Amino acid sequence: MTSYTASGAGKWRPVAAIRASLLLHAAAVVAVAIVPMHWPWALALVAGNHLFLFGAVFWPRARILGPNLNRLPPAAARRNEVCLTFDDGPDPDVTRRVLDLLDRHHARASFFCIGAKAMAFPEIVKEIARRGHSIENHSQRHSWVFACFGMSRLRREVEEAQQALAAISGQPPSFFRAPVGLRSPLLDPVLARCGLRYVSWTRRGLDGISSDPALVLRRLTRDLAAGDLLLLHDSGRMRTRHGEPVVLAVLPALLERLAAAGLRSVPLPAACGGSAA
């Protein structure tokens, strides 16, 4: 595997909630050092702060823990662009069929790939890029407890995936989405180090847990508008009662709805001006 350098890496700029948390921790330490008997109050404040940050983890479209792209920029909306994003691939049974459907409708998308899966199926990743879609970072192993990891393990998960995807596709990802959409309060410094921008969604079909294509389609198209960021999965985990991957049952109708509304699906780098900054 070739080495990877985060050429787009930038300085971490903590948001207000994180700055306040850091100041509160420092103040608690100082207060206890000056008046040791006040330790219960200091402990209660720190515990309350941790509870607040823990609650923010379960608000995936919020910006409490850091910048969060949940809609495309206004310029993209003015161009009648949307972005279809696919998580949890590549999948040897599903991803190429998704690519065929996108080609048929002249649509381009962004694929948030799991690093370990990309290493197992590198030719599929190369084909995604070859067909004009972008390859983005969805962690190395897609752990369901990703948001609970400490800083060093977060770094390994993000950086290993970044290295693998860059080596396979020839282009380092510009965007990151957390597994299950749950974002750690410690994640932003890691993303800054890798030059990655955090992405959630405008609307998601929940096709990763729902086997009803009509319901998934309804979630994705209710109030559909230019600038929307749509989330699906090309993992093939959920299937219809006839055994078809839900994403393949939903995607043709979704693409037809986009065309009828005059909306064009483009990859995230194109919608955002080719930059993760």
**pLDDT by residue (tens digit) across 91-140?**
999 999 999 999 999 999 999 999 999 999 999 999 999 999 999 999 99
Predicted local distance difference test score (pLDDT) of residue 275: 43
Predicted local distance difference test score (pLDDT) of residue 270: 98
Residue 205: Cβ-neighbour burial (10 angstroms; 0-12, 13-18, 19+): buried
Angle between helices 151-169 and 187-194 (to 10 degrees): 30
Per-residue pLDDT tens over the stretch 67-98:
999 999 999 999 999 999 999 999 999 999 99
C-alpha to C-alpha distance for 97 and 89, rounded to whole angstroms: 12
Predicted local distance difference test score (pLDDT) of residue 53: 92
Which residues does the chain have with pLDDT short of 50?
1-7, 275-277
**Contacts by 163-167, CB closer than 8 A, 24 or more apart:** 163/1, 163/3, 163/4, 163/115, 164/1, 164/115, 164/116, 164/118, 164/119, 164/140, 165/113, 165/115, 165/118, 165/125, 165/135, 165/136, 165/137, 166/2, 166/4, 167/1, 167/2, 167/4
Tokens of residue 74, six digits: 């206004």
Predicted local distance difference test score (pLDDT) of residue 138: 98
Predicted local distance difference test score (pLDDT) of residue 274: 56
Tokens of residue 179, six digits: 């597994």
